Amino acid sequence: MRALITTALIVTATAGLTEPKSITADIWADNWFAMYANGDLIIEDSIPITTERSFNAETTTFTAELPITIAFEVRDFKANDTGLEYIGTSRQQMGDGGLIAQFLDATTGETVAVTNTDVRCLVIHRAPIDRACENESSPIAGVGPCGFVVTETPTNWTTPNFDDRKWPNAVRHSEWAVGPKDGYDTISWNWDAKLIWSDDLVQDNTLLCRMTIED
Ligand SMILES: [Ca+2]
Ligand SMILES: [Ca+2]
């Protein structure tokens, strides 16, 4: 009799609660990312952004309660606030970014979310403000065409209840435009998973992006 009562109590206690969902994520970013689920840090790109040609895909499995708010910080490499890389060499350039991700039900393998233009991304570092900076012989951050714009990272931007409705929608970019490199080809991407960024792959260097894995 006592065992029966215990069972009844457990059933009552769990009714109506969301079951945690196990999700496998594939992510490729040019050049570096950190990913959060419902405000918790899940993974940082394992290759430091300072590694030359730090191109790689990451695959990770995590558990969270649906609906899951996914938040990415994504960084295109820049040597400093000019936004340039290879400064002072014949390869001095602005560099470009790019992000693609897909989320699979870890149990069934079904794709449950992808990066597309429903993702919202806030640009928090833009440089240079004028592309002419790329051709400066001694580019200095904040001077002339090498000005930069830094936007403060909003508080609690990774959490589910953060209001991102004023953030712009991400812009889809072609494989040709992004030129995805090492690691990208090792993932079998769902057709609906798209390469995204802001509207400017080159001058927008650091983005905060948010999306939801629905119930
Ligand atoms: Ca880059
Ligand atoms: Ca750039």
User: In the numeric block, which tokens belong to residue 85?
Assistant: 């890389």
Q: What is the pLDDT of residue 2?
A: 53
CA of 182 from ligand 2 middle (Å) equals 18
Element containing residue 2 per DSSP (H, E):
helix 2-14
Distance CA 39, CA 51 (A): 27
Smallest CA-to-CA distance from 103 within 113, 94, 93 is with 113
Q: Is 185 helix (H, G, I), strand (E, B) or coil?
A: helix
How far is it, in rounded angstroms, from Cα 128 to Cα 138? 13
Q: What confidence tens digit (pLDDT) does each residue in 126-159 have?
A: 999 999 999 999 999 999 999 999 999 999 999 9
pLDDT tens digits, residue range 96-126? 999 999 999 999 999 999 999 999 999 999 9
- pLDDT given at position 55: 80
Nearest to 127 by CA among 55, 73, 76: 76
pLDDT at 6 over 60: no
How far from the centroid of its chain's Cα atoms is residue 162's Cα?
16
CA of 128 to the centre of ligand 1 (A): 14
Coil/strand/helix, residue 34: strand
**Which residue do the tokens 């969902």 mark?**
21
Whole-number Å distance between alpha carbons of 167 and 64: 24
Rounded to the nearest whole angstrom, what is the distance from the C-alpha of residue 200 to the centroid of ligand 2?
Answer: 9
Gap from CA of 92 to ligand 1 centroid (Å): 13
Q: Does domain 19-213 have CATH number 2.170.120?
A: no
Tokens of 164: 């991102």
Tokens for 9? 């109590």
CA separation (Å) from 134 to 85, 173, 183? 9, 22, 28
Judged against a pLDDT cut of 50, whether residue 12 lies above it is answered with no
pTM: 0.90
